[in-house]
Structure 1
């Protein structure tokens, strides 16, 4: 059994040796085990499933508004090698959420508009989510998950003869989750905040609105899990980082703020 575990370890090392490490848009080292085409295919399939299973908003004013903000940001996004067009869908749901998937798929839930109160605040969310795609965060997360699963398999082989194997594996599983996957995701979230600030700024939105957005988010997220066990930085941590990022941006006209008109709410 030890010999088998040793073989698996050597195989993992061989894979890592052959896998080219790359850098994210902010210069952070990344390990990407999957091709861009593979990730784009996964994103496409996931998005199609969501469109089949979740109601899509038919509100023309809401769709026009979300499209206006999103398309303004996409104009400053460089062409992508694995897909040619972005698709934006507004889902009719009270969820305060938005997402972007590999392959250029963007989803916005109508509930987000209750927290993102202005075009600039909505642009902060959209820019952040598109930042995840530009930085290959889905590929990175999936790659990390695959390596964590391999590590657990190897450890299970090594401990299989131990009377405390089950307890050890349970403890290791928690360690992998807290020590590798969740902190890494927090790093991705912070990185997407930086990318999102740049995108909304270049597109002509007011980047200071990102701070207002997360103050709104903090008010709407009572009872959220502690930062240690969350995939997102705490609102206070996020706000401080955004304020620092905004202070380093040059002043430019916020031309898109007036052009994307938020629909009136009852």
Structure 2
């Protein structure tokens, strides 16, 4: 059993060699698109059948319009930086769903949902572009597959510990400590790093799409106001705090505008 776990761990380490085109860094991802995308697309289709999709309204059309502009901007960046064909397996889709939850999300392969509850926060097309850029960035960076990969390794670590530790009392202590430690010390920071990365990538591609990146910090100020200033302490959260995001997005806006100028974008909506 121990030998099997070691072989599996070595195989995963070798397989996890995909490069994030926006950072140039290798990422933890041993789930190929061919494996994860079909499941993602099927789950997305099922979700749409089980929820009320808003169609043929100005808001729904705007979601699609902004999504297409953002994904086109992403493709322009990728093609000009040596990643032509990177999006060949993606099937972009943007839907507005009637739900009061203040949220939007993206599944692997480019399947995006906005809830109507977030529209009072986005307020304008620029606000929608901030959220859309962030969600498209999650898809571009394969964050879903990375989370699955990290979750698999977390489970593998738990199994290995239970195999090695023979004493039942010590094994129970290990399981409790490992559960808390791997979540607070590894999985939550991993998730927060994805959110920060998606913020930065999203800011860049929304600027290339012609949207003013300074809107991003303003949107998160509205998010903070909507929450009443109440939030989970950052170290216990899957997301950075509102204040952290506002500071980051304010700092990064100028660089996003400079990147957009490389593509001939000199004015922003």
TM-score (ref. length: structure 2): 0.87
Which structure carries more relative contact order (alpha carbon 8 Å, separation 6+)? Answer: 1
Q: Are residues 1:198 and 2:198 paired?
A: no
Map 1:32-47 → 2, pairs under 5 A: 32-47=29-44
Assess, with a 3 A threshold, how the Cα gap between structure 1 residues 118 and 17 changes in structure 2: closer, same or farther: closer
What SS class does the counterpart of residue 106 from structure 1 fall into? strand
The runs of at least 4 aligned residues of structure 1 exceeding 6 Å deviation read: none
| Unaligned residue ranges in structure 1 (runs of 5+) | 258-266
Map 1:207-222 → 2, pairs under 5 A: 207-222=213-228
Is the Cα–Cα contact under 8 Å of residues 161 and 174 in structure 2 kept in the other structure?
no
Given the alignment, which residue of 46, 54, 73 partners 1:49? 46
Q: Are residues 1:183 and 2:200 paired?
A: no
TM-score (ref. length: structure 1): 0.88
The corresponding residue for 1:21 is 17
The corresponding residue for 2:132 is 126
The corresponding residue for 2:239 is 232
Question: Structure 1 residue 247: deviation in Å?
Answer: 2.3
Q: Are residues 1:71 and 2:78 paired?
A: no
The corresponding residue for 1:253 is 267
Question: Structure 1 residue 183: deviation in Å?
Answer: 0.3
In structure 1, distance between residues paired with 2:55 and 2:207? 30
What SS class does the counterpart of residue 172 from structure 1 fall into? helix
How many residue pairs end up in the alignment? 250
In structure 1, distance between residues paired with 2:26 and 2:107? 21
Is the Cα–Cα contact under 8 Å of residues 69 and 122 in structure 1 kept in the other structure?
yes
Deviations 1:77-134 (A, max 9, x none): 2251223x31111100111111111122111111110111121111010000000010
The corresponding residue for 1:7 is 3
RMSD value over aligned CA atoms?
1.6
